[in-house]
Structure 1
Amino acid sequence: MLFTSLLLTFTLVLAGCSGGKTDDKKAAGDNKTLTVSVEEIYKPYVESIKDKFEKDNDVKVKIVTKQMFDQLEAIPLDGPAGKAPDVTLGAYDRVGGLAQQGHLAEVKSLSSDDFSDKEKSLVTSEGKQYGVPAVIETIVMYYNKDLIKEAPKTFAELEKLATDKKFDFASESGTNTAFLAKWTDFYYSYGLLAGNGGYVFGKDGTDVNDIGLNNAGAVKGVEYAKEWYKKWPKGMLDNKSAGDFVTKQFTEGKTAVVIDGPWQAATYKKAKVNYGVTSIAKLPGDKDYSPFAGGKAWIATSYSKNPELAQKWLAYAGNADNAFKFYEDTNEIPANETARDKAAKTNDELTNAVIDQFQTSTPTPTIPEMSEVWTGVENLMFDAVSGKKEPQASADAAVKVIKTNISEKYESK
């Protein structure tokens, strides 16, 4: 009986040892694969740079194609289940929330030779960095070269342009479409408020107790927008369709100047508009339009089976050579300053417009509370310019909603 018991014990020990070796081999096998998740349009880029990374690191890069925001939404559930990718591209304004929830791996250092404090701030949360900046993005100003000789440099010039009767909107007497901007959308109008002294959160976008969207500067920006809405057709008040209205007027040659994103260039090219693009005109008082600085970063999930390799990929994909290649493949502006300087030398009009506008842009706050701002300001501009509320009252109401939502969703935890 004793012999049988000892034999059984010995057999189990051997089995346990054998199982351990199998698990070790499996783990080692996992370490030979790095999963990179990108949208379909970026797959060719990853394929073009992965061979060198695979050779240098003796690893296989597995590419997963998934819509960026779908992937970011899935990480909190996929991570614990072992299904999250090692690395992916993520929008800057999602970095803070994912990082604070523990879903992203910290990046220990970003080279000051490649990234300024501004780029670094886009991936910083609570003093730590959670990604390598890949792309910068801002809204810019387009103009129709067949309608005006050069881009207006000031809003005073735009105001004068709006008196030109050739841009009168035929369907609504007394309205004009010389210049249009979708300012009922906070993403587009923020530069107007910030340029006059408004801001989202104080202390570089981190102090939720200091909201500057109803201060004197912000209200001044709203009041200025209201003057423009008096000139514009009523369709500009409909936030759901205003963007389409702006695009239609510009592509049909009925609008000389619009504010929009770099993504609109493809639409204008397809419509064969003879357009130019530049940074946004100076606001009254010689103030800079200060839109949000956005874009994407390479980020590593905290669930990576091979965190060291994931960090190496971030550095590799974000280096100057690969950042410039990303620009060549996608025409998206590099966050890497060395690559960006090289991109600027191509003399591409859209590239240089984004680069110039980025200089006056405001880094989008990366803290999770930023999500409450987008909700809170939905009606700020509409209520003010439609006459439903006075500009100050509309701004005050928006800030109240933001503060209430932050208090209920964050401070109560």
Structure 2
Amino acid sequence: MRVMASIAPPDPSAGGSLDIVAAISRWLSALLTVRTTVIVLLACIGLVLIFADQGTGKPEDHSKSASSGQSASGIAAPLLPPGVQPAATTGPEAEMARLINDSIAIVPAGRVAAKPFFWAGNMADRERATDCLAATGYYEAGTRAADQRAVMQVVLNRVRHPAFPHSICGVVFQGAERKTGCQFTFACDGSMARRQPSAAIWRQARITASEMLTGQIEPAVGNATHYHTDWVHPAWSSQMNKIAAIDTHLFFRWRGNIGEPQSFTTRYSGSEPLIARLAGLSIAHREGLLTADAPLPVVPFGAAALPSMRPENALTAAREILPDQARAPDADVFLVTLDKAGADGFARQAELACAGKTTCRFLGWTNPAYKASQFPVSGRAIDTLSFSYVRQGASDAGKARWNCNEFPRGDRAQCLRRGG
């Protein structure tokens, strides 16, 4: 039986949520059958509760935590390793660094595309090189292929430059034996122990690395040999040529001839070391699993796939051998210990040593503990260099430069230019 009535719907502003529910119930009861009223009443109660919740005055939270990988805009944000706080990229110090970095202009015409790198070597070395390059791309740049290529290009540029080791894994893990000496942060800050990429992400990073080893280049960074993020400002960055900015990474090359394309002439060694720290990710870096030209064994992905290798032990250096590319200086290179009291005579001493030589490099240290004795010169030795004299041809009179932190000079052009 239907009962018709001329009743206006209740005014929601007349009372609280429970009054609204009661009013709706009475109104519907006058219009509908009991069974229909119950169904509709339940739906209305849900709607009223939703409206009541929206009326509490609390703003809707669209953001997610950094660990979720999503920002408020819904765009994927970089995942942070456990224990690392996102405050490192924000705050007064980070903003000041950004202001300083923004004030350093990109050098016009400072970016020249690097030459393609074409792999030449046996299968085992190729696999090791690929995985070292892939790890650098993932840990230093995240998961975007374009960002990974930029970082990988820096690695390949270093391989071709005489200031660095001449293998890919040697460049990537240079200085990793020292807590503060690694050239790429992930190699010694524990990132590999804290987090690993998924199988799909690792596969994609290896594909990008393989492309870079077979002729792909990243022209956006040219011959850059250094980079840093925009929320830090290392002292060396203002002493180098800034040549590119990609997202939050800034790319640099040395000033002068040492940073010009003609300096990238060192031949790749063709030999890659076994890096035990990569054993959890890479079959090629697991002892005894790969020989020069044997097919790849079928081993599941990741350190967890090896029952006898706990994750914490997978990254322990059971046998870690960086490439022994060290060599004695050439006849036109002098690595010497200098008397600190005779700084004004350093240039004359260098000219005498280089007499009759068309090209010559004279590098000196006042602290014999830091003096280099072979190539490549370590980062520590470069950082503590006291004096250098370089002559680069018959028409070059030679340039003498001092470490102005150690020996202040009236003319800043006589100061050593610091890299990093």
Which range, TM-score by smaller chain? under 0.3
Give the structure with the higher percent strand: 1
TM-score by length of 1: 0.24
Give the structure with the higher percent helix: 1
Larger radius of gyration: 2
